[in-house]
């Protein structure tokens, strides 16, 4: 049996990384936004590759429809309704106990974005929506930290590295997020597991190369697109918009909270998410005691779950709640006010 010191041997002997490169990797901190298909694959490679600290952010919990492509999650995670960030952290710690993994079962929003990204060297977009990506883009340029945009749908995917320091940025490519409801989603047209794995492999490769300091300019601003069914690979270069509000004029409207909703329905299932008005933490134990008369209450370290005849409310310690079994947002907000407060 070899010693744990051999863990990174295949990086040490790899000419493009070596011991110096591995040393840089081990001092790096990476924020992964979204622990779905893209996030679980990227996190798997980065954790096993020895990134010093991985911060995992996800607002949702594990569902049966995730298991087809989201590696690291198990049927037990679905049965116990575990938040994805916590389930992924547990899984990754079994693969590499020598790095720091921080789980944040919360939604990445304008008011917590800077806190979640504090001191990170790189941000990986593994989200499933454009408002989040525009927020990441603002944050990246505000902090001067690179980020890697990624997406996959059906059998297609794309990835794009943006430096956070010199253009182009996402706003050079796309002025505003596409209007709600006009884009296809994985919930309506499906997605092939290996297509996602290919996109996250590109994201993870870009991440590792840039963290070793090996000329990330090589791929900065190049949009890579693939189709894992047709076996097609294309790329194009994004040009810097000389009047770009973000990378030229340093105006960060998404980071200022413009366009944020206080509640929304969660795509593909009967559920409403309600956002708090502030990011203050809440005493879950005390609240669990108060909710015992309403229904069955389970209290965990970072969330509590209230199950009543008509809905299930999962409340996280950042005061965000998901109401399963509801489709009416105003009803969800009113239940939130009633049981959690304003």
Q: State the greatest distance between any 2 C-alpha atoms of the chain, in Å, as a whole number.
A: 63
To the nearest whole angstrom, how small is the minimum distance from the Cβ of residue 246 to Zn ion? 5
238 touching Zn ion, by CB under 5 A: no
Kindly determine how many residues on this chain lie close enough to bind Zn ion according to the rule CB under 5 A: 7
62 touching Zn ion, by CB under 5 A: no
- Indicate the residue among 138 and 318 with the shorter CB distance to Zn ion: 138
Q: How far is CA 200 from the centre of its chain?
A: 12
- Indicate the residue among 254 and 303 with the shorter CB distance to Zn ion: 254
Task: Write out the H or E segment, with its range, that includes residue 18.
Answer: helix 18-26
How far is Cα 252 from Cα 245, in angstroms, rounded to an integer?
8
Exposed/middle/buried for residue 62 (C-beta within 10 Å: 0-12, 13-18, 19+): buried
11 touching Zn ion, by CB under 5 A: no
- Indicate the residue among 88 and 169 with the shorter CB distance to Zn ion: 169
How far is Cα 34 from Cα 105, in angstroms, rounded to an integer?
10
> Hey, which residues between 150 and 169 contact Zn ion (CB under 5 A)?
167, 169
244 touching Zn ion, by CB under 5 A: yes
Q: Are 265 and 313 in contact (CB under 8 A)?
A: no
133 touching Zn ion, by CB under 5 A: no
Rounded to the nearest 5 degrees, what angle is found at the Cα of 105, between the Cα atoms of 77 and 270?
A: 65
Interacting span for Zn ion (CB under 5 A) from 205-213, 239-247, 296-304, 328-336: 239-247
Interacting span for Zn ion (CB under 5 A) from 21-29, 142-150, 238-246, 293-301: 238-246
Q: How far apart are the first and last CA of the chain?
A: 57
186 catalytic? Reply is: yes
- Indicate the residue among 92 and 162 with the shorter CB distance to Zn ion: 162
To the nearest whole angstrom, how small is the minimum distance from the Cβ of residue 71 to Zn ion? 33
To the nearest whole angstrom, how small is the minimum distance from the Cβ of residue 98 to Zn ion? 38
- Indicate the residue among 146 and 167 with the shorter CB distance to Zn ion: 167
By C-alpha distance, which of 121, 142, 11, 144 is closest to 55? 121
Sole binder of Zn ion in the list 84, 91, 171, 300 (CB under 5 A): 171
Interface mask toward Zn ion for 245-284; x: CB under 5 A: -xx-------------------------------------
To the nearest whole angstrom, how small is the minimum distance from the Cβ of residue 77 to Zn ion? 39
172 touching Zn ion, by CB under 5 A: yes
Catalytic residue among 35, 169, 172, 186: 186
How far is Cα 141 from Cα 113, in angstroms, rounded to an integer?
13
The three-class DSSP label of residue 342 is coil
The three-class DSSP label of residue 317 is coil
How far is Cα 29 from Cα 11, in angstroms, rounded to an integer?
18
The three-class DSSP label of residue 12 is helix
List contacts with Zn ion (CB under 5 A).
167, 169, 171-172, 244, 246-247
Catalytic residues, by residue number, are 186
């Amino acid at each position: 049996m070899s010693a744990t010191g051999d863990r990174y041997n295949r990086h040490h002997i790899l000419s493009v990384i070596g011991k110096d490169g591995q040393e840089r990797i081990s001092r790096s901190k990476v924020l992964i936004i979204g622990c779905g298909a893209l996030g679980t694959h990227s996190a798997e490679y980065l954790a096993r590759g020895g990134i010093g600290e991985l911060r995992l952010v996800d607002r949702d919990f594990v569902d049966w429809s995730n298991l087809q492509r989201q590696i690291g999650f198990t049927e037990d995670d679905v049965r116990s309704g575990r938040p994805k960030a916590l389930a992924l952290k547990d899984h990754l710690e079994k693969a590499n106990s020598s790095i720091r993994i921080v789980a944040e079962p919360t939604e990445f929003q304008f008011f917590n974005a800077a806190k979640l990204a504090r001191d990170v060297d790189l941000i990986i977009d593994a989200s499933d929506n454009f408002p989040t990506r525009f927020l990441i883009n603002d944050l990246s340029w505000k902090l001067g930290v690179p980020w890697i945009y990624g997406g996959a749908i059906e059998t297609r995917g794309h990835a794009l590295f943006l430096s956070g320091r010199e253009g182009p940025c996402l706003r050079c490519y796309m002025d505003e997020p596409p209007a709600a409801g006009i884009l296809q989603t994985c919930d309506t047209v499906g997605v092939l597991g290996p297509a996602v794995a290919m996109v996250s492999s590109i994201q993870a490769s870009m991440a590792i190369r840039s963290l070793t300091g090996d000329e990330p300019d090589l791929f900065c601003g190049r949009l890579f697109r693939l189709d894992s069914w047709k076996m097609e690979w294309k790329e194009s270069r994004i040009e810097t918009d000389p009047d770009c509000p973000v990378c030229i004029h340093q105006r960060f409207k998404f980071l200022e909270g413009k366009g944020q909703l206080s509640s929304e329905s969660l795509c593909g299932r009967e559920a409403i998410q309600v956002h708090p008005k502030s990011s203050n933490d809440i005493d879950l134990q005390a609240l669990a005691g108060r909710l015992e008369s309403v229904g069955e209450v389970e209290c965990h370290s970072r969330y509590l779950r209230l199950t009543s005849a008509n809905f299930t409310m999962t409340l996280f310690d950042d005061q965000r709640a998901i109401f399963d079994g509801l489709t009416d947002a105003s009803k969800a907000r009113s239940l939130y006010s009633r049981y959690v407060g304003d």
